[in-house]
Structure 1
Amino acid sequence: MVSDLVSRIQLNRAVMATLTLGNTLVELLIAIFCPMLEEHLA
Structure 2
Amino acid sequence: MNAPAVTRSEKTPFWSALFTDRRIAPALGLGFTSGIPFLLVYLNG
Equivalent pairs counted in the alignment come to: 26
* Unaligned segments of structure 1, at least 5 residues: 1-14
**Root mean square deviation of aligned Cα:** 1.8
Choose which of 31, 34, 37 in structure 1 pairs with 2:36. 34
Which ranges of 4 or more aligned residues in structure 1 deviate by more than 6 Å? none
Please, what TM-score do these two structures have when normalized by structure 2? Answer: 0.48
Larger Rg computed on CA atoms: 2
* Unaligned segments of structure 2, at least 5 residues: 1-16
Counting helix residues as a fraction of each chain, which structure ranks higher?
1
